[in-house]
Amino acid sequence: MDEITHEDNIKTLIEKIPKDSTPLEKVILGNEGTVQTLLSIVFGVPIKIEVLSQIETETYVVRWVRLVADYGNNLVITVCLAESIIDKNNVFEGFLNGIREKNMGIGQLLSACGIRTVRELLGFYSDKSTFSRNYSISTYGYDIRAGRGFKIIITEVFQKDAFKRLEK
């Protein structure tokens, strides 16, 4: 897979991001790192993960989370809602155990497990109240089609109102 830094890939990425997105929205939508880390920098507090629901079958884990900025004094802002579908085929056991513990975001957990990944941004959406993206995460250096490695599909939805407080 080509890196996003390849000029043609950058042009394609720029063309995919909704034209009416603000500069901050463009940074979030195009980010290839962990969204939890990026949002922590944007909001100035560590972003916490709250697992709303998690269902595990024989082949998949489907997980719904909210990412929150907790400023204390009962000021907690939901900055993102996310749905993740984790293909358990060939998943590393330490990673799967971390998912079952429900106390870390997927990107943070992959990093903590030392798992290198490749991310592919698949789609974007924006309207007056939300912007969103979906992407895949594949383990680095493994050929998924040959049955090695694993893949995760993530959809993240951001409420624009959560970012308005940053403008003040």
Domain boundaries, the chain: 7-167
60-83 average pLDDT score: 95
Residue 99 has pLDDT above 90, yes or no: yes
pLDDT for position 150: 85
Residue 1 has pLDDT above 50, yes or no: no
The per-residue pLDDT for range 24-67, each reduced to its tens digit, is 888 888 887 789 999 999 999 999 999 999 999 999 999 999 99
Give the CATH fold of the 7-167 domain: Chorismate lyase (3.40.1410)
What residue has token string 């971390």? 98
First to last CA, the chain: 41
pLDDT for position 142: 53
Q: Determine the Cα–Cα distance for residues 78 and 66; give it in Å rounded to an integer.
A: 7
Cα distances (Å, whole numbers) of residue 137 to 19, 33, 121: 25, 11, 9
Amino acid at 134: N
Q: Determine the Cα–Cα distance for residues 85 and 64; give it in Å rounded to an integer.
A: 9
Reported pTM: 0.85
Any residues with CB less than 8 A from the CB of 149 and at least 6 apart, and which? 90, 138, 139, 141, 142, 143
Q: Let me know: does 16 contact 38? Beta carbons within 8 Å.
A: no
pLDDT for position 65: 97
Q: Per 3-state DSSP, what percentage of the chain is helix, strand, and coil (rounded to 5)?
A: 30, 35, 30
- CA geometry: angle at 130 spanning 67 and 56, to 5°? 45
- CA geometry: angle at 139 spanning 134 and 144, to 5°? 90
Helix or strand (DSSP H, E) at 63: strand 60-70
The per-residue pLDDT for range 108-148, each reduced to its tens digit, is 999 888 888 888 889 999 999 999 999 999 886 554 455 56
